[in-house]
């Protein structure tokens, strides 16, 4: 079946970045290219007239569980280890390890509703903005009130938060394009939970080589739904 235009854009962006090399820099390039595509889609769909509630400094959604592609986890790891100031990186590293340990103690259901702040959240802002995962760049709420309610109650029911459907559609198509690009490159597209994955990479950077050889990034990790849940 022919690809849709958004699928083709994402397929080409990832294919160009990861086709020749699946190293750390290529993963970061892939993540930032998808962010650029997502930002363009956001502009095109019309952020001004769309009733988007997201504002700088609002970070309720950074307390949801975030599922990421392996190359996105590697891009975040690279950002942490080579792009952040040492002091800030130390704090992020500590929070990642603590969050991953906390998540590891929870049941599968409990992991949806942890209410844990993402370790990359620093003073209300994403400290890895240029390589934030597509799940983050493609998430735009239409109701701050619902985001706040989900956060306050730790209900883990982000499905009640209204989002911009047109952008959700495009994000889904980008995912489909990325899935196909990863498949063509012989790389696993099994999504992993953000905190767990980056903490695992801190403990064992050799996991990157494991993924580059065509296996899942994490051992014994059950792939779970895409996006923010």
Q: Which is nearer to ligand SF4, 96 or 185 (CB)?
A: 96
The footprint of ligand SF4 on residues 48-77 (CB under 6 A) is 62, 66
What are the helix (H) ranges across the chain?
A: 5-18, 24-45, 70-82, 86-105, 134-137, 144-153, 165-184, 194-203, 207-212
Q: Which is nearer to ligand SF4, 95 or 185 (CB)?
A: 95
Alpha carbon separation from 55 to 39, 187, 193, 220 (Å, rounded): 15, 35, 25, 38
Per the structure block, which two tokens stand in for 33?
Answer: 């290219």
Q: Which is nearer to ligand SF4, 120 or 211 (CB)?
A: 120
With CB under 6 A as the contact rule, the residue among 136, 178, 187, 192 that binds ligand SF4 is 136
DSSP reduced 3-state for 141: strand
Residue 128 CB neighbours (<10 A): 26
The footprint of ligand SF4 on residues 149-208 (CB under 6 A) is none
Per the structure block, which two tokens stand in for 99?
Answer: 């969050």
Residues contacting residue 87 through CB under 8 Å, at least 6 positions apart:
none
Residues contacting ligand SF4: total by CB under 6 A: 9
Residues contacting residue 83 through CB under 8 Å, at least 6 positions apart:
none
Q: Which is nearer to ligand SF4, 11 or 60 (CB)?
A: 60
Task: Give the nearest distance from C-beta 200 to ligand SF4 in angstroms.
Answer: 16
Question: By C-alpha distance, which of 24, 38, 13, 2 is closest to 178?
Answer: 13
Task: Give the nearest distance from C-beta 229 to ligand SF4 in angstroms.
Answer: 12
User: Is 42 a binder of ligand SF4 (CB under 6 A)?
Assistant: no
User: Is 132 a binder of ligand SF4 (CB under 6 A)?
Assistant: yes
Task: Give the nearest distance from C-beta 42 to ligand SF4 in angstroms.
Answer: 14
Q: Which is nearer to ligand SF4, 111 or 132 (CB)?
A: 132
Q: Which is nearer to ligand SF4, 17 or 68 (CB)?
A: 68
Residues contacting residue 114 through CB under 8 Å, at least 6 positions apart:
63, 65, 99, 102, 103, 106, 154, 156
Task: Give the nearest distance from C-beta 117 to ligand SF4 in angstroms.
Answer: 8
The footprint of ligand SF4 on residues 90-129 (CB under 6 A) is 118, 120-121, 126, 128
Q: Which is nearer to ligand SF4, 126 or 157 (CB)?
A: 126
Question: By C-alpha distance, which of 209, 176, 183 is closest to 4?
Answer: 176
Positions that interact with ligand SF4 (CB under 6 A):
62, 66, 118, 120-121, 126, 128, 132, 136
């Amino acid at each position: 079946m022919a690809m849709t235009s958004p699928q083709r854009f994402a397929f080409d962006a990832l294919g160009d970045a990861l086709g020749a090399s699946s190293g750390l820099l290529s993963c970061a390039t892939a993540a930032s290219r998808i962010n650029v595509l997502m930002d363009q889609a956001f502009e095109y769909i019309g952020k001004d007239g769309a009733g988007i509630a997201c504002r700088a400094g609002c970070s309720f959604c950074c307390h949801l569980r975030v599922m990421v592609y392996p190359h996105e986890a590697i891009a975040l790891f690279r950002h942490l280890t080579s792009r952040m100031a040492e002091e800030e990186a130390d704090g992020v590293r500590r929070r990642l390890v603590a969050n991953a340990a906390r998540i590891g103690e929870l049941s599968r259901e409990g992991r949806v509703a942890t209410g844990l702040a993402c370790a990359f959240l620093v003073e209300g802002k994403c400290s890895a903005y240029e390589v934030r995962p597509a799940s983050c760049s493609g998430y735009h709420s239409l109701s701050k009130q619902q985001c706040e309610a989900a956060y306050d109650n730790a209900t883990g029911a982000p499905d009640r938060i209204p989002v911009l459907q047109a952008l959700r559609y495009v994000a889904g198509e980008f995912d489909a394009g990325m899935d196909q690009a990863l498949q063509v490159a012989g790389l696993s597209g099994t999504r992993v939970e953000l905190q767990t994955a980056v903490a695992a990479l801190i403990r064992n950077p050799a996991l990157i080589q494991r993924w580059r050889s065509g296996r899942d990034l994490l051992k014994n990790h059950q792939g779970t739904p895409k996006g923010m849940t």
